Amino acid sequence: LLYHISTKMSIDTRHKTLARFLAGEFDNGEQARENPAWFVHIHLWHRPLPIPIDGHLALFAEQAPALKLQQPYRQRVLVLKPGEVSPLRVEYKAFREPEKFKGAGANPQLLESLTQEDLEDLPGCVLEVSDRAGVFVAEPPEGAKCCFQYDGKTRQVELGFEASAGRFRSFDRGIDPETGRGLWGAL
């Protein structure tokens, strides 16, 4: 895990551990093979950013269908901050120009030109993170509503994950903002 951390930057041990657990490449191949009607085989990259965001550790996230790794989507940045309710908090940011960084999961050199000006806040896209016996559990605060624009439409996603040494479980799922019905992802 390589970060270019300023000596002025004080980072809590829990933030470093969570960043180490999140960094890497993940896929759900076993789950997709066991339940092909419910799950598409997805590859997920979490890459440490070469710069801190708002003075905090951050990771680039991107995913792609395993059969079409050259077609990544859902680029975002996870910023690890001190929590308001729990010890840790993850705030998500979007890219102003996602195409500029498309493919950085497989080709992290694309992130070398990243600046904070390339990012924009995603209000409501936050997770409170607790450490439960070595497993970081990230859940949205009560009432949080994570919405963003995609293809000219408002999309909503319910976020969540568990991360530990050698394991990452995502509970992200798309929600119809008008009906609240699940559209894709974890049931």
Q: Is the pLDDT of residue 142 over 60?
A: yes
Nearest-angstrom CA–CA distance, 110 and 90: 23
3-49 per-position pLDDT tens digit: 444 434 456 788 999 999 999 999 999 999 999 888 889 999 999 99
The average pLDDT across 130-152 equals 89
Strand, coil or helix: what is 34?
A: helix
Considering the chain, what is the average pLDDT of its residues?
A: 89
Q: Which residues of 78-116 are buried (b: 16+ CB within 10 A; e: fewer)?
A: bbbbebeebebbbbbbbbeebeebbbbbeebebbeebee
44-70 per-position pLDDT tens digit: 999 999 999 999 999 999 999 999 999
State both tokens at 117. 């000006």
- Beta-bridged to residue 129, according to DSSP, are 88, 138
Question: Which among 43, 50, 53, 141 is positioned nearest to 94, based on CA atoms?
Answer: 53
Q: How confident is the model at residue 186 (pLDDT cuts 50, 70, 90)?
A: low
> What percent of the chain stands above pLDDT 90?
68
CB atoms within 10 A of CB 166: 7
CA distances from 45 to 28, 66, 143, 168, 174 (A): 12, 12, 28, 11, 19
Q: What is the pLDDT of residue 21?
A: 97
